[in-house]
Amino acid sequence: MRDFYGITLPGAMMLGTAQYPSPAIMEAAFRASGAAVATVSLRREAGMGGAGMGAGMGTGQAFWDIIRGLGLRVLPNTAGCHTAREAVTTARMAREVFETDWIKLEVIGHADTLQPDPFGLLEAAETLCADGFHVFPYTTEDQVLAQRLVDAGCRVLMPWGAPIGSGMGLNNRHGLRSLRAAFPDIPMVIDAGLGLPSHAADAMEMGFDAVLLNSAVAQAGDPVAMARAFGLAVQAGALARGADPMGVRDMGVPSTPLLGKAWL
């Protein structure tokens, strides 16, 4: 497992805390998933009311008690921010509330696809890195932007698999493979768009260090079972990557050798 800003996580799954049917189901889903990180949002809060969870999910203190009880690393995010200024302000508030320098940086640039704004993202990343934050930028598979983020001080990249909440999986496999190969020493987390456990296994097999998801678990008919399925898929993908998979061939190759075959 690769380090994330000097921290070695016990697992390669990060899970969001929004949209669950109830706090009890959210807690059970986290425990079933084996997730190492919980992402939480400050944008939707009113004095920490239902942090990171939809309306009607109870008080903020109750939510925070659940998260602390899970014993996970907390990764606050700037979800819903559309400008660098918004994101920086939200990040600074989150650092005070959650007492961590970790921040998942989102600066949304397109209302329909929720694609990050590369210009606002870079501006916010430069400011936050200079301010001592450990920035996890939600980005695309663009290698030029990735290099600028690394130059700004980001030591982790979080390229999207597909638009947030779409469940499409890995839309641009070539671009993601190229990005992974171009920055072999930078930890990378596939963030957004994963809908099935097979998508998570695919990302791990491609060499990514972790995956982050929310909707695929929270909006499943059985969030707890789906969380467990994703946790197992992440483990399987990581094991497969470490086992040095066979390469793709243009032609069929018999698995049973012809040597010693009886010729009739």
Check the annotation: does 166 bind a ligand: no
Check the annotation: does 215 bind a ligand: yes
Non-local CB neighbours of 178 within 8 Å, separated by 6+ positions: 141, 143
Check the annotation: does 192 bind a ligand: yes
Record the tokens describing residue 173, joined without a space: 């496999």
Three-state SS across the chain?
A: CCEECCEECCCCEEEECCCCCCHHHHHHHHHHHCCCEEEEECCCCCCCCCCCCCCCCCCHHHHHHHHHHHCCEEEEECCCCCCHHHHHHHHHHHHHHHCCCEEEECCECCCCCCCECHHHHHHHHHHHHHCCCEEEEEECCCHHHHHHHHHHCCCCEEEECCCCCCCCCCCCHHHHHHHHHHCCCCCEEEECCCCCHHHHHHHHHCCCCEEEECHHHHCCCCHHHHHHHHHHHHHHHHHHHHCCCCCCCCCCCCCCCCCCCCCC
Question: In the annotation, is 261 catalytic?
Answer: no
Check the annotation: does 193 bind a ligand: yes
Q: Which of 20, 40, 74, 104 is catalytic?
A: 104
Q: Cite the active site residues.
A: 104
Q: Extract the annotated binding site for 1-deoxy-D-xylulose 5-phosphate.
A: 165, 192-193, 214-215
